[in-house]
Amino acid sequence: MHRIYKFIWTLRAIFWKLIFRRFDMPGYIGPPAFIYGARRISIGKRVRIFPGLRAECHGSGELIIHENVSIGQNFHIICSSELHIESGCLISGDVFITDTDHSYVDVERPVFDQENMVASTKIGKNCFIGIGARIQAGTILGDGCIVGSNSVVRGVFANHSVIAGAPARIVKRYNLSSHEWERC
């Protein structure tokens, strides 16, 4: 039975290798998955994505998921410019990450008929993103950041920050000199 499972897993990995710009093995994407713009998606070694992926690359958007990243179920990601998830990240289930926002400049026109606002988004190395978090366009998370469950995050955050709330703010920061977490 284990051999059959491994064979099916290998076939899926070969399929993803043909679909994406880059898919390094070993790697896993659990079905079902909705992919738009697969030729602009690069996935590094040891990336594990659990069932329910929805990845969208619009226009010239480019999604790069670096090596050794684990992503929980029902992950939704949209990019229209450049969106990076650096190595060593752990992303819980039901998380949404984007570099694209809707604009509402002309109140006489529906929102979906207006230009999108695009700002690059980056998740730094070794970040942890809690279940249900929303990472908005233009967000830059430094290395080692922790995002609390159900947080709505927008902005630039320094390395080793704990970010929580809606809207999210820094609640703790790691002090490299004292080797302790400090409340903000």
Residue ranges per structural domain of the chain = 2-183
Q: What is the mean pLDDT of residues 52-69?
A: 97
DSSP string, 126-170: T-EE-TT-EE-TT-EE-TT-EE-TT-EE-SEE-TTEEEEETTEEE
Average pLDDT of every residue of the chain: 95
pLDDT, tens only, 153-181: 999 999 999 999 999 999 999 999 999 99
Q: What is the mean pLDDT of residues 132-152?
A: 99
Given a cut of 90, whether residue 89 has pLDDT beyond it is yes
Given a cut of 80, whether residue 115 has pLDDT beyond it is yes
The tokens for 27 are 């790697």
Q: What is the mean pLDDT of residues 9-20?
A: 86
Query: What SS3 class is residue 176?
Result: coil
How distant is the alpha carbon of residue 149 from its chain centre? 15
pTM for the whole structure: 0.93
What's the CATH number for 2-183?
2.160.10.10
